[in-house]
Structure 1
Amino acid sequence: MSCGGGQAEGDGKLTILEWSGYEATENPDFFGPFVEKYGETFGDKLDYIFFAEDAEAYAKIQTDVAADLVHPCNSWWQLYVDNGLVQEIDTSKLSNWEHVNPALAAMGQFDGKQYFVPWDWGYESMLVRTDLVPEVPTSWADLWDPQYAGHIALWDSGEANYAMTALAFGINPWNTTPEDDEFIKQKLIELKPNVLTYWSDYTEAYDLPQTGDAWIVVNAWQDAYANADSSGYAVEYVQPAEKRLGWVCGFGISPNTADLDLAYEYIDASIADSSMAALANTYWYGPSNTNALADIDPYVVEFMELDQAASIQERTSFYRPITEEQRQIRTGIWDEVKVSQ
């Protein structure tokens, strides 16, 4: 057995530490070549362990949860590498690697070695019910305006709210001081009169705009906009003056996996043109494979600016790896904010 109770050697099965909604058993088109190869029995080759936030995934894999593959987002990748939780990726084993956006691929490199294969990327911004707000915000800083009192839904994420607040007040979120930490904490406390609730799961970000009580869902992903828009609600996904926040998530392979070839098969299938187009058309997420654009709904291409892949980083403030100490500080700040009166 592999360390931590992983799959028995040669049993031809993968355990994947994954966000809910990405599993091949629910969305087989996201992994088309893998599903086509194994046919109706493809599900027998896959087990999933789900998580709702990166911190949960990281905690699970550190406590000997058996996983062959993990799908964290880029601000956490450095920690996985530093703690030996993933192995180097041999990109020569990925037939679709040549089409992966080089800028996104570079985020998965550490010390000149590839440790993560970027798969999905997207934005965090303000999802606004335009028929309910007196004015549509154009800046992250507008969230502090009293006109939104009691009608803002914040993501229950210390890292996200720290970054959002830093951008709102002209602070570089990835290079802060203890004075910045205190300033950001106070600003988040000052925001509380405007806060209706905290959301933690993507389904809540889908449901909240429909209640009529949440005028603005903060740090919402673009799939929440797609859901609200397709449901007939008057909504806008704001491009803040300070840039949207951006995330990239991707697959890493455990050093303890017993079926390395199957792990590479799964990852390669995930970045195939057809798989990436299916992901984009379903969730409006950006595909790491730039060759997939021809099969993506033109409206999604325009909305996500997928045809401007070379300038993604210029128009987006992507999360960056932070240290364990920085993460603890930001989580601690958020805990203090939530209990403050």
Structure 2
Amino acid sequence: MTKTMKPMLLCAGALLLATGAHAGEVHVLNWKGYGADEPFATKAFEEMTGDTVVNDFFNSEQEMLTKLRTNPGLYDVVMINAAFMRQALEENLVQPIDTAKISNYGDLDPDQAASAMLNEDGKTYGVPWTWGLTTIAINDKAFDTAPTSIREMWKPEHEGRVTIRDDAVEAIQLGALATGQNINDIKDMSAVETSLTELLPNVRTFWSAENDWNQMVASNQIDLGTYWSGSAGRAKAQFNLPVSLAVPEEGAVGWLDSFAIPVGSDNVEGAEKFINYMISPEFYVEWDQTVGAPVSASRRAVAALPEDAFNRRVMGSPEIAERVQFQQPITDEQRESYLKTWQKLKVGAN
């Protein structure tokens, strides 16, 4: 947030409080270290609205769904990957959102706002927040020039120097990309299994959190691995680590994250204000420039970045967009099949 933005936010906060806005707690369920819990954001939102932000965290989408199931009424806002919204809807875990009460909603990318994954029967259940890639990130010390192929991870010179996330769906989709297949319509699972079997000897270890990846590159234990685009940006911007993103010619896995309001929320008004702030340029520019962030779903927020910002110059380029395969929902049967395959492959590698 720039110095010129702060007075504007404080004035807006005074206006909200003067009009009798509900002051209470906004309970947010999100990934730890993923924007919504940044100290600058919490401070600005609380000054603007009078609401207190209470954060809780999950380490996987399945843990997020479990927390919603087992704590009905506890959360006011939850971050949901759009590919998992179907499951949340089927279990009646989230409620429709009145987008008319979210003033920044009109700034969102129209295609993302209209996503069939976030809307049903004319009602909106998820407000697009950020999007990004699961792709290759490299240790700059290991490369003179960034690799152009995902198959770089398979090369013998990287034996014991590769890391991938221990996630069955991501692993199978990685194998699909490496074998020239659509991640949402895998025709040859045998080829995927063979490809991953060949990759595993190069894998030093699996990661589950950003800190795992960052510590490995900081201690020069890895050459490259799969990583989230926003995480790679944070590694460089916040921790000054030698990390660069590489979007290979075979493509990258795209994901769309949204904010939803759980069924039973005690502070829907506060949730609407929180979501509105999360998609504002005021929040996003500060997050991207001082911490490192994925791409905002708000066109106005991205346009507010400096012209040379990675999320404006590179991630906004048509060439990159053509390579992205956005995740679509998968069935429980597919998820179980992927998990069994992944567990079998890991056991075989030991």
**Does the alignment pair 1:60 with 2:67?**
yes
Hey, what does 1:5 align to over in structure 2? none
Which residue, 130, 134, 137 being the options, matches 1:127?
Answer: 137
**Does the alignment pair 1:288 with 2:300?**
no
Q: SS at the partner of 1:330?
A: helix
Hey, what does 2:173 align to over in structure 1? 163
Structure 1 runs (4+) deviating above 4 angstroms are 133-136, 229-235, 301-304, 310-313
1:150-174 deviation line (CA, Å, top 9, x unaligned) = 1101111111111111011012111
Hey, what does 1:324 align to over in structure 2? 332
Hey, what does 1:46 align to over in structure 2? 53
Q: Is the 8 A contact 2:138 2:225 kept in 1?
A: yes
Offset, 1:242: 1.5
Which residue, 100, 115, 128 being the options, matches 2:108?
Answer: 100
Q: Is the 8 A contact 1:68 1:253 kept in 2?
A: yes
Hey, what does 1:337 align to over in structure 2? 345
Offset, 1:103: 1.9
Which residue, 162, 174, 185 being the options, matches 1:175?
Answer: 185
Q: SS at the partner of 2:283?
A: helix
1:222-266 deviation line (CA, Å, top 9, x unaligned) = 432552477665543212012222211111111211222111111
TM-score, normalised via structure 1 length: 0.85
Task: Describe the shift of the 1:103–1:27 C-alpha distance in structure 2 as closer, same or farther (beyond 3 A).
Answer: farther
1:22-78 deviation line (CA, Å, top 9, x unaligned) = 46553333784x333245xx4xx3222211121211222223353222102122111
- Separation of aligned partners in 1, 2:228 and 2:63: 19
Q: How many residues align?
A: 324
Task: Describe the shift of the 1:290–1:48 C-alpha distance in structure 2 as closer, same or farther (beyond 3 A).
Answer: same
Q: SS at the partner of 2:176?
A: helix
Residue ranges of structure 1 left out of the alignment (5+ in a row): 1-9
Hey, what does 1:37 align to over in structure 2? 48
1:251-330 alignment to 2 at 5 Å? 251-281=259-289, 282-301=291-310, 305=314, 307-308=316-317, 313-330=321-338
Q: Is the 8 A contact 1:30 1:276 kept in 2?
A: no
Residue ranges of structure 2 left out of the alignment (5+ in a row): 1-21
- Separation of aligned partners in 2, 1:23 and 1:301: 17
Q: SS at the partner of 1:264?
A: helix
Root-mean-square deviation (Å)? 2.7
- Separation of aligned partners in 2, 1:15 and 1:230: 26
1:203-240 deviation line (CA, Å, top 9, x unaligned) = 12222222222001223434325524776655432120
Hey, what does 1:4 align to over in structure 2? none
Hey, what does 1:6 align to over in structure 2? none
**Does the alignment pair 1:200 with 2:211?**
no
- Separation of aligned partners in 2, 1:109 and 1:297: 32
Amino acid at match of 1:122: G
Amino acid at match of 1:49: D
**Does the alignment pair 1:73 with 2:81?**
yes
Q: SS at the partner of 1:333?
A: helix
Q: Is the 8 A contact 2:25 2:53 kept in 1?
A: yes
Offset, 1:135: 7.6
